[in-house]
Amino acid sequence: MAATDRDPDNEPNDLNDLDEVSDLVDDSDLPGRVDRLMDGLVADLERLAAIPSIAFPGFPAGPVQEAHDLLVGLLHDVGVPHVERIDLPDTAPVVFAEIPPPTPVAPTVLLYSHYDVQPPGDESLWRSPPFEPTPIEGGLRARGIADDKSNVIAHLGMLRAFGGRPPVGVKIVFEGQEEYGSPFDGYPPTDPDRFACDAMVIADLGNLRPGTPTLTTGLRGAAEVMVEVRTLQEPRHSGEFGGAAPDALLTLLKALATLHDVHGDVAVEGLRREEWTGTSYTEDEFRDLASVAEDLPLLGSGTLGERLWSGPAITVIGLDAPGVDGAASAVVPYARAKLNLRFHPKQDPHEAQDHLVRHLRALRPFGIPLTVTPGDTGPGYEAATGGPAYRAARAALKEAWGSDASYVATGGSIPLVNGLAQAAPDAEVLLFGAQDSLCNLHAPNERVLFSELRATVVAMCAFVRRYADDFRKGVTS
């Protein structure tokens, strides 16, 4: 159960003055207002990014709490009347805050981001200490400064631009243990009233490239499968036994080789692959991002969007076999591999996993059966993009960046999205934010660009203003 500590001195204000409210809704020159806020937002981003809020086992909990407390203070400062914490076992506190809708016909928008960060990894690869936010051209470098503290600050910027009284009702969810994984993922459906809303802005990602406004409309699902082979009780001399004794490693490799066809497309039947209708990287961009040398081919056929987002991928992520150093001249008796499957956003996770499991179980390399064990699964997500929140968001992103929004998907998953979508099944889910594909997420030298942060704040402001306007017109007409 969640323990909450409501602050009775900070109960919501009643905003019944409709004239005042329509002034708020008609607010003009938001970009100028955001420009004037930028110095303060960047200063707060630096304070937040200087806290090593790593919610992983083996890291101290103090900094996570410190980041939490800083955010609670910032929300109180901007006048959010109701801030509480959701405490669940085995996870960091979730900041939950609420601003009631300013009028009975205003929609409610849930704003999500997370204040924990990935561990910095090998610090010798960083050009500046990971928790000392350091200026770079047009931005700042630090661990977590893009993922996802930039988006925490972007939400805050929207609230500041409206003086703490945006034209929509707001629910804020700032998670504190997203990167490691958290039992909070399953919590929203158990407390649906708390998360009830008309639209959500899940800001834990960003643009396809800096300057290209991007709405992420799909997340591929994921499943793991373990496959192992035992052929002998123990290793046997390859000179004496090789040639007839069944080799476990060779057996496993023959099995793994059936997962893809000669082009590198997944050859397992039943995994959905559909045309990708949104935008995608150019091949050069993708090569750059993935660090693929020019003289090497990419795997698979068809568009990159289809290969990366609306089709399956199977990756061998681990292999147990004798290492090369010190390898004995012996037939290998046992080998196993861990496979990571990514599948179409709309395919059922267990169905997708079953297709891979059945494919492997049906194999008999050299006549030898394999032991196949299904592992964890995570569902994908595909947003419905035809509603009023999407219309408002498309216009808002265009207003902020000056060009039409691209639709992309991502292979990475955000497990909480499914929990929130179950809690508020009719809410439109918008995924955009201040990160970009070059910001080195989860890698050394993570950075954020001020241009993206600023445009994200403008987009969030324009979104709530347009959405509230459309909502009012829709409800009153």
Residue 382, SS3?
Answer: strand
Structure tokens at 416: 């909480």
Structure tokens at 235: 């290793």
Residue 23, SS3?
Answer: helix
Cβ closer to Zn ion: 306 or 446?
446
Residue 446 sits in the site that holds Zn ion (CB under 5 A): no
x/- map, 403-422, Zn ion, by CB under 5 A: --------------------
Residue 147 sits in the site that holds Zn ion (CB under 5 A): yes
Residue 224 appears among annotated catalytic residues: no
Strand ranges in 103-220 using DSSP code E only, listed in sequence order: 108-114, 134-136, 139-141, 169-175, 199-202, 206-207, 214-219
Where do we find the tokens 């039992």?
183
x/- map, 254-283, Zn ion, by CB under 5 A: ------------------------------
Q: How long a stretch of residues is the chain?
A: 477
Choose the binding region for Zn ion from 66-74, 154-162, 202-210, 300-308 (rule: CB under 5 A). 202-210
- Minimum distance, C-beta of residue 418 to Zn ion, in the bound complex (Å): 16
Cβ closer to Zn ion: 347 or 418?
418
Cβ closer to Zn ion: 44 or 446?
446
C-alpha 61, offset from chain centre: 23
- Minimum distance, C-beta of residue 178 to Zn ion, in the bound complex (Å): 6
Interatomic CA distance for residues 395 and 391, integer angstroms: 6
Residue 4, SS3?
Answer: coil
Cβ closer to Zn ion: 150 or 406?
150
List the one residue from 148, 306, 399, 452 that touches Zn ion (CB under 5 A).
Answer: 148
Interatomic CA distance for residues 364 and 48, integer angstroms: 55
46, 116, 436, 446: the catalytic one is 116
Q: Which residues, at least 6 apart from 170, have a Cβ–Cβ distance to it below 8 Å?
A: 80, 97, 98, 99, 108, 109, 110, 111, 159
Cβ closer to Zn ion: 205 or 395?
205
Residue 204 sits in the site that holds Zn ion (CB under 5 A): yes
- Minimum distance, C-beta of residue 266 to Zn ion, in the bound complex (Å): 27
Residue 178 appears among annotated catalytic residues: yes
- Minimum distance, C-beta of residue 147 to Zn ion, in the bound complex (Å): 4
Interatomic CA distance for residues 169 and 109, integer angstroms: 6
In whole angstroms, how large is the CA radius of gyration of the chain? Answer: 25
Interatomic CA distance for residues 15 and 471, integer angstroms: 18
Strands 214-219 and 381-382, sheet pairing: antiparallel
Work out the angle at residue 332's Cα, subtended by the Cα atoms of residues 328 and 334, and round it to the nearest 5 degrees: 135
Written as one string, the DSSP assignment of 58-108 is TS-SHHHHHHHHHHHHHHHHTT-SEEEEEB-TTSPPEEEEEE--SSTT--E
Choose the binding region for Zn ion from 148-156, 255-263, 274-282, 347-355 (rule: CB under 5 A). 148-156
46, 147, 178, 446: the catalytic one is 178
- Binding-site size for Zn ion (CB under 5 A) equals 3
Nearest to 86 by CA among 112, 53, 108, 62: 112
Strands 435-436 and 428-431, sheet pairing: unpaired
What dihedral do alpha carbons 154, 201, 312, 341 form, nearest 10°?
80
Residue 436 sits in the site that holds Zn ion (CB under 5 A): no
Interatomic CA distance for residues 161 and 31, integer angstroms: 9
x/- map, 107-146, Zn ion, by CB under 5 A: ----------------------------------------
Per-residue CA distances from 222 to 143, 378, 401, 403 (Å): 26, 5, 32, 32
Interatomic CA distance for residues 419 and 57, integer angstroms: 24
Residue 306 sits in the site that holds Zn ion (CB under 5 A): no
- Minimum distance, C-beta of residue 206 to Zn ion, in the bound complex (Å): 10
In one-letter notation, the amino acid at residue 36 is R
- Minimum distance, C-beta of residue 212 to Zn ion, in the bound complex (Å): 20
**Residue ranges in contact with Zn ion by CB under 5 A:** 147-148, 204
User: Which residues form the catalytic set?
Assistant: 116, 178
